[in-house]
Structures are given as C-alpha cells and as structure tokens.
Amino acid sequence: MKNMGLSDLMLVAPRTPVGVAAEHMAAHAGDVLRSRRTVPDLASALADTTLAIGTLGRETTPRQRLETPRALAPEILAQAERGRVALVFGPEDHGLSNAELDRCQRVVCIPTSEEYTSLNLAQAVLLVGYELHLVEREGRETAATGRGTRRRAGREAETQPATGAEREGLIDHLETALGAIGFLSRQNPAHIMRDVRALFGRAGLTRRDVKVWRGIARQVSWAARKINGDGRGS
C-alpha cells in the first residue's frame, strides 16, 4: 500500500489479532498498520463509500462485468475526488464471496498466465495500487495551469454520488416495496435483488437518484397498502 501511495487500511472481521509479527513485517509502513481501522462486517466498511471495487481471482462471474485494474483506474481516481472509494480484497485462501461481490459496484480481475492464475494477497494489492499510481502520476505530470480550479468548480456543480449506506438503504426499501406487490419470488427473493444490485452498481447512483428511487418505493408500498386495504388501487 505505502509503495503505491495508499494509506487508509480497513480490516473486516480479521481472523487473528494484529500483533508484533505484523508490526515487524510492516517495516517502514508501520504508520499504515497503526492507523488501520477494524470493522465487524463489509457493510460497515462500505457505509460511507461512493464506489466499491471488488477483486476477483477467477476468470468469470455471472453478474458483474470483469474489468482490468488498468482500464478502471481513471474512473476510480475520478470518483475518489468526489468521495471515498474502497478497494475490496478477500481472504487469500478463497477470496470474496458472491454476496460480498454483490456489495461492490465494479469488479476487477488481474490478467495472469492461464498456466498459473493464483496471486497472493500482497501481490494483488500491489498490482492494483500500481495501476492507480501510474494514472495518478501521469495526471499530475500533464495537468495544465488552472485546470485544478476548473475541476473544483465542476465538482461543486455535479451531483454527489450515493454512499454505500444510501445504496443499501435504497435496496432494502425497494425489496420491501417489491415484496408488498408480490413481484419477488417467495422461495428466492434474493435472486431478483442481486440483479437489481448489479443494475444499480452499473448505473453509478447519485444521491438524487437514491431519493427518486426511494420515492418510487414509497409510492409502490402506499399503493400496495391501498389495494390490500380496500381492494382498489386509487
């Protein structure tokens, strides 16, 4: 992380406590380790993020389009100027679960030789960080005079992206509304909601988008109560 200019480390439900061995292995990056934050679950880690990038070791995934770190780096850096962005890495032995990937709006996979695709966690972090560092460095070297002022003004005029907590609140609200009108399968409601998650992930929701969709969900719930109450829809 420190090699590539990354410093905000968050650990999600670590299996073992971080102790002297970790401090020793961190060498000159002890400040990154000491400033770490620990949270009980991924939802807590992503609550205030505007974009979450999941990492995947296998070649295909049924719900999200795989992208390379190099292709996605400009979008990650642009989004980081508007809010917090998370790079999400799973345990070294089995990576992120499908449920954890569902909470990410983008998924990256590092291209490797098909003869041996496995990367350890440190290598994966370094490679993703390297691609971000290259794009960030090139941007600084080619920035024109006055560009920063124009970019700040543009950001202030843009609609702010939704945070992880806002997206999760919307998905929960929409699931309740869709359940009220019988749209979701009673046997497997999560099947449709995973597709909804993937759709919203691709859309890059803003805070205004969330408000609009939650307004729709409220109206759907109201209509369902109206129908169930008196048999008429209006």
The pLDDT of residue 90 is 93
User: What CA–CA distance (Å, rounded) separates 157 from 55?
Assistant: 32
Question: What is the value of pTM for the model shown?
Answer: 0.71
User: What CA–CA distance (Å, rounded) separates 107 from 109?
Assistant: 7
Other CB atoms within a 10 A radius of the CB of residue 169 amount to 14
Do 2-157 and 164-230 fold alike per CATH?
no
Domain ranges in the chain are 2-157, 164-230
Containing 214, the helix (H) or strand (E) segment is helix 207-230
Architecture of domain 2-157 in this structure? 3-Layer(aba) Sandwich (3.40)
The pLDDT of residue 205 is 87
- Under DSSP, is residue 108 helix (H, G, I), strand (E, B) or coil? strand
Collect all residues with Cβ–Cβ distance below 8 Å to 79 and sequence separation of at least 6.
Answer: 50, 51, 85, 161
The pLDDT of residue 230 is 53
The pLDDT of residue 61 is 55
The pLDDT of residue 204 is 83
- Contact indicator for 19, 47 with CB cutoff of 8 Å: no
Supply the angle between the helices 69-80 and 121-142 in degrees, to the nearest 10. Answer: 60
pLDDT per 10-residue tile (average), the chain, 234 residues:
95 90 90 95 94 80 78 92 94 88 92 87 95 87 52 50 89 92 83 87 86 91 81 44
The pLDDT of residue 155 is 46
Containing 45, the helix (H) or strand (E) segment is helix 42-46
Check: CATH 1.10.8 for 164-230?
yes
Give one word for 19, left, alpha or beta, with left for phi > 0 and alpha for psi -120 to 50.
beta
